[in-house]
Structure 1
Amino acid sequence: MISIGTPLLWSLFAAFVVVALIVDFFAMSRQGSHAVSIKEASIWSLIWVAVSFFFVAWLWWFLGGTGQDPVTREMADAKALEFITGYLVEKALAVDNIFVFLMLFTYFAVPAEFQKRVLMIGILGALVLRAVMILIGAWLITQFHWVMYVFGAFLLFTGVKMWWAAGQEPDLDNNPALKWINRHMKISPTFDGEKFFTVHNGVKMATPLFVVIMLIGIVDIVFAVDSIPAIFAITTDPFIVLTSNVFAILGLRAMYFLLASMHERFHLLSYGLAIILVFIGTKMMLIDLYKIPITWSLGFTVLTLAITMILSLKIPARKGASSTSFPFSPKERGGSKDS
């Protein structure tokens, strides 16, 4: 599999991610437990988006985008477009991820000042999962070309499923994962600060915060299964696949606090994401017949997101409708939580 990822590029990228995580952890520890304001979330969101586009601009320059060789310039332009398209697709899918996080925090009544730590752990888990799954996906595509058709069919199925589930209200009470946790773990009825385990009535128990961490880990796995085939439909270059994924995830925590207060305004976004997944799946299925240009994919993604967001602001949400589809089994509300 052809990749622009040289040892130097991989090393620089790895160093950047480590430094970014250290800075994020340091800032979080200095601030302590506190509710993140819209202003703070907006500033950090803009910083992460700016860093992402600075990276792709630097990558374009590094690959020879300003050089005299037309072949080199064409390659630099193509890789930059692949990164931007992959970044926007992963960022869009991350929005659905964010709405699921919001649902979990609301269901378990997680205090706002504790949510930051949980999201940071969830992001670390997502980064590790994406890296592992990208390596596996790249190896599979290299060894078995027909895997591209499997990925395409899976994205088509996921897109259709997301479309039909978009208007349904998720039911965590009857969620299989939560039921399994309730049956196999003793869970404290109250939080104990940011602790994951506590002693309640003389018995050591997991706190609701630990349960949320477990469920977010499951959500990370489910969304990684959706997003990895999507990015491989844009490019099969492992370096572009991983970097676009990582940059989309790094800004996830700030974006959560930015969108948490306005998720009801974008109630049609899941329909737009479903359309994008179907488009990408179709592109993958047609790869040996017709290769849809990256510029078309980028334009379609941006246009679909823009239309669904504008329509969301103009068309009021149905009462009781959900803006996202929980990745397990959406059913009618009405069950009771296991004890």
Structure 2
Amino acid sequence: METIGSTGLWLAFTSIVLVMLAIDLFVVGGGKEHRVSFKEAAVWSVIWISITLAFAGGLWWYLDGSLGREIANTKALEFITGYLIEKALAVDNVFIWLMLFSFFAVPLELQKRVLLYGVLGAIVMRTGMIFAGAWLITQFHWILYVFGGFLLLTGIKMYWFADEQPDLENNRLINWLRRHMNISSSFDGQRFFTRQNGVRYATPLFLALVLVELSDLIFAVDSIPAIFAITTDPFIVLTSNIFAILGLRAMYFLLAGVADRFSLLKYGLAMVLMFIGVKMLLLDIYTIPVGFSLAVVATIIGASVWASLRKEARERKNG
């Protein structure tokens, strides 16, 4: 498979990810009970975005010197576009997390621990899915049409059912776990498992973690093919994906208190998926430029956020 990912680039990317995870785990205290404030989430969101942009700049500088200006411009733009798409689609995942934590009544100070393990699991899971997807594309070009059709249908379904909420009370996985495991009715601090009268029990925190991992698997099935519509280079696909995931916890706590203000955002995300699906289906007929794709995605997301805030302001004024 064709890729710009030299040994040096892979080592640089891996080092950045490991250093940032180490800071989160051992300096910031990702494993401790901690209630994340809006200010802290905003600061970390800025840090993650800044690191991402710095990586994009470093990637452009390296490629400009080694492969030329045209390739540098193309790959940097692909990276930024992939990152924006992944970040935008992740917002829907944030809404699901809010419902999950509310359903299981997870205290705010314990949510960060669940999301920490969720992010680590997502990195491993998505890495495998991306390399598998890249291999499939090199072996079977027609798989891109399958991805495109899937994204188009997923976008239509998301648009049609945007206002529906998942029925967690009748979720098959939760009910299966309850039938096959001892589940305690209360939390035991940060523990996923506890003992009561010598018997091992899973806590509600464990159920929340399982559903968080499942939700990311479901959204990865949407978002990863979406980035393959921008580029089939596994280095660009993986790095843009992982950088978006690493900033996902901060984005969750940033949006947790204001998520209800973006009631129309799901419609925008659905339109993004439909646009990307069409782009993939037209792949061998007309290649939509990456810059145009970036502009379309940014415009759709920006318009849906603006419309949501306008709707919320009108309802507040009339109410």
Taking structure 2 as the reference length, the TM-score comes to: 0.95
Aligned match of 1:139: 135
- 1:238 matched to 2:228: no
Deviation per CA, 1:109-128: give whole Å up to 9, x if none.
10111111110000001111
Aligned counterpart, 2:310: 314
The aligned counterpart of 1:261 is 257
Tell me if the contact between 1:101 and 1:216 (Cα under 8 Å) persists in the aligned partners.
yes
Q: Does 2:54 match 1:54?
A: yes
Distance 1:203 1:184 in 2: 14
How far apart, in 2, do the equivalents of 1:58 and 1:103 lie? Answer: 38
Which of 81, 104, 109 is equivalent to 1:108? Answer: 104
> After superposition, what is the alpha-carbon deviation per residue over 1:29-59, rounded to whole angstroms, capped at 9, x for unaligned?
3883121000000000000001000100111
* 8 Å contact kept, 1:264–1:317: no
CA contact (8 A) 1:156 1:282 kept: yes
Is 2:227 the partner of 1:227?
no
Deviates more, 1:14-23 or 1:137-146: 14-23
Q: Take 1:224 and 1:2, find their aligned partners in 2: how far apart are those partners?
A: 23
| 1:208 equivalent in structure 2 | 204
| Length, aligned pairs only | 315
Alignment of 1:1-339 (within 5 A): 1-29=1-29, 32-64=32-64, 72-316=68-312
Amino acid at match of 1:5: G
Task: Kindly indicate whether the alpha-carbon contact (under 8 Å) linking 2:25 and 2:31 is maintained by their aligned counterparts in 1.
Answer: no
Q: 1:151 to 1:267 in 2, by over 3 A?
A: same
| Mapped contact 2:30–2:112 kept (Cα < 8 A) | no
Superposition deviation, residue 164 in structure 1:
1.4
Q: Secondary structure at the match of 1:199?
A: strand
More deviation, 139-148/154-163: 154-163
Question: Deviation string for 1:180-201 (max 9, x for gaps)?
Answer: 1122111100000001111235
Gaps of 5+ in 1: 320-339
d(CA) in 1 for partners of 2:70 and 2:34? 48
| Distance verdict in 2 for CA 1:183–1:298, change over 3 Å | same
**Separation in 2 of the partners of 1:128 and 1:78?**
27
Cross-structure match for 1:329: none
Alignment-mate amino acid for residue 68 of structure 2: T
How many angstroms apart in 2 are the aligned matches of 1:169 and 1:256? 18
Task: State the Cα distance separating 1:27 from its structure 2 match.
Answer: 2.7
Give the Å deviation of 1:318. 12
Q: Give deviations 1:228-276, integer Å, cap 9, x for gaps.
A: 1000001011110000001000101111100000100111111101000
Percent of paired sites with the same residue: 58
Task: Return closer, same or farther for 1:216/1:248 CA change in 2, 3 Å cut-off.
Answer: same
Letter of the 1:278 partner, please give it: M
1:143-188: per-residue Cα shift (whole Å, max 9, x none)? 0000000110110111111111211122211112212112211110
Alpha-carbon distance in 2 for matches of 1:250, 1:290 = 34
CA distance in 2, matches of 1:318, 1:244: 37
- 1:6-36 Cα distance to aligned partner (Å, 9 max, x none): 1111111111111111111113438831210
**Partner of 2:195: helix, strand, or coil?**
strand
Aligned residue type for 1:206: A
Distance (whole Å) between structure 1 residues aligned to residue 286 and residue 241 of structure 2 = 26
Instruction: Give the alignment's TM-score, normalised by structure 1.
Output: 0.90
